Structure 1
């Protein structure tokens, strides 16, 4: 037991290990859709374009009658070529602000944004990352890491931002792609109809003179004909028709949406921002209440005052005309004594004076909950909240509607 008599030695606590700080490497800005990293949607768009073009010009258009074949080549080929050009321009243009393109070098990385110094990247039409003044509708794209003039949205299919400089090329790309797909669907439907009604109309090419079997078809006309069977041609045709319809539905929806935005003179970013604001305005946190109604369950009727007994519930109204933003209901403590008195003063009404109402007694079962209904006086708007059991602190929020 001798060790109990020894003096205690002070032990200096070890210094806490320093938490490793995450080092954010400054990123370079992307110039256009060809800048790395490339996106998988971008590759998918080009693959789909090549597949549709190859199948159209080497499989299905050669099956058309001679009088329709050259018209299909000119119309469909013109739409595909126009789409190819505007798609390249929309992807290759730099949509950045003029001040960004004139001042900065894309080889230099941008500084890391410090939220301890600035609340937003762009304040008072000045970008703290690009360090240049920008226009009113400019936004700093996190994917491209630069300010975009007249920012509309960041398109993953182009792998580039869509702004004022390339918006019309983007819109022309969507419109021409939709028109080209519509032409392909019409061609495929005509081929399927003729196959079941009059298959000889699809075998008017001169190279079919050397084909004796009606179940044999020629692909890749007129350059290098390849013989195949009917199920192969039908399988390719059905697959291409389904692909065309699905793609046209997506592009058609996008085209109609941008036509709607042009009619409203809005950008995609403004449309989404307004949608979020409307959604936030519908949440209970955004509502402001001015009068509170407390409804207790009917089981507590026997403990109410004689004037309130028999009505099934007791209501208490508290009016706070000076509270324009928030209202709160303080802690409710159940007591066995007589019900407390609540005095309400309306400063806007001198004639009413001071009113005194009797609050209902606590419930016999503390586990029961009650309903708090918030609405302005003399108004039809109504908001009900499920409160906690008695004895807990309750705070409510709501919005004043129709009451000033």
Structure 2
């Protein structure tokens, strides 16, 4: 008989895949407890999750559809407050979501993304030059710190027109958004710092607009037909895009390097031409999702899971919260078989939900893939003798059950 008590999620994310195993063992959908005693239904079965992600009876707007929020049960010092309180397409529902996504899509175009490739290549080369110089001094090099992190932060800073001197502050506050075991004081302070930094950026771009994403979003601030971004939506859209576009790419590159070094036979497939770098990227996204679990969605009405292909007798009641468990879905044996947890770049079925699905598919996915597609072959081409400096079991995960990566990734270059 299934344990009726919720599975308590570890806010420090120390065992994301073990926790995903425990979710799956309890069924396709199971009750979990998030930080602060907040309960939600975690969905880790891929097909069930896909159906829920695109169903109009599942909302992302807590103000309209989350009972606990409506009744005043969520305070600004909750560690996940920023994830649910922002007013942007991440938390919008129905027509509001379509309006906001259309405005952002106009700014975050395929042309703008593709045009970044030369800069991504130049940034990558400069970082590898610095890493090579550090390697000459002997000892291990932390690739998370020296490569995985600075590449996306520099790309996103240039994309948004962020002054170089604000880079360190941006990094600190983005880290804070993903720090899901933060104290109430840390949460409140980080929110204030984040909005202060973005407010300064918006003020700068209003004075001196340029060919950057912030200026483009400001231009959408006052739509002629009344559908433009409000001031709060502008700031919150920047919160979403800076956070999501940065952290997911850091973890994608981090996890790819780790998995290839921990599984040299898989790297050999790539070097022998039996698999491509695109194969690597998609398999990494599947087996080690950069975002392990994404809060939150809400039932607009009572949802019988059997109607979605889920288990009989399980009902997510109107106003209850839903957690998209991407790490659990990516390794689900019902979809990927007995080798679901195995990193295999030659796997035929690498389809995954790590960038979402349907109308909520991540707009930044092409940029994240592009950065990884440039960074990984450049790194392994420059340092063919690259190896981990510690055993994989000694790597420490980042302090989050949302963000799935490592605090450090020490390597020897040869």
Please confirm whether the aligned pair reaches a TM-score higher than 0.5, indicating the same fold. no
Max radius of gyration: which structure?
1
Give the TM-score of the pair, scaled to structure 2. 0.20
More relative contact order, 1 or 2 (CA 8 Å, 6+ apart): 2
Give the TM-score of the pair, scaled to structure 1. 0.20
More helix by share: 2
